[in-house]
Amino acid sequence: MSDEAVDERTTREQILDAARQCFAHTGYSATSLNDIAAEVGIRRPSLLHHFVSKETLYEEVFEQLLADWFSRLADSITAPSRGLEKVEQVLDAGFGFFADNPAYVTLMRREAIDGGSHLAIDLAATLRPLFDEAVDYFEREMAAGVFRDQDAAQLLLTGYGALLSYFSDAPFLEGLLDESPLTEASLARRRSHIIDFFRSALELPK
């Protein structure tokens, strides 16, 4: 690979990184290509050489988000484990992804609030197969007597909110907790609580 190709790849990645941060912090409408170019240290024409519009750049940022998210979950979803062990593996994968990518969480929340209006893809339709697969898993385990009977869809929605809001609302939560929610110790406590929540909801009475 030539030096020019390496530089082009590096610039493109820097643009995507900067765009992800800008879109997450100020939202789609309030972010301009000039903002992103300034963050990278290039001029707008140089950015347009890589991405022809803000819409194109935003969609690629989001496609990267979804690809990384599906990749992180893939191993835990396809693992042969069952019951609470599998639930914990999936929660660990999701929690770890959110902890490593807080800007992604904020971006996802912004887009969900806006109803996916800035994307050419239907975000809900894209995520629906993953959601349906999780509902089917819980319902199969409930029918087999492994889990306590619950409304599987509602349980997943509760878990979704509990995970995403913790990371997207971290600055607000810091004021409530008098400590950063994103320290290693705080994250460990939150992870343990989420696992305990699902265990309490799903374990059969003894």
pLDDT at 116 (0 to 100): 67
Between CA 200 and CA 206 the distance in angstroms is: 12
Contact 93, 70 (CB under 8 A): no
Left (φ > 0), alpha (ψ -120 to 50) or beta: where does 97 sit? alpha
**pLDDT per residue of the chain (206 residues) written in tens, 0 to 9:** 344 444 455 889 999 999 999 998 888 889 999 999 999 999 999 999 999 999 999 999 988 888 888 888 888 888 888 899 999 999 999 899 889 888 888 888 888 777 767 776 777 888 899 899 999 999 999 999 999 999 999 999 999 888 888 988 888 999 998 999 999 999 999 999 999 999 999 999 87
What pTM did the predictor assign?
A: 0.80
Cβ count near 63 (within 10 Å): 13
| Contacts with 124 (C-beta within 8 Å, 6 or more apart), sequence order | 116
Between CA 53 and CA 99 the distance in angstroms is: 30
Contact 51, 57 (CB under 8 A): yes
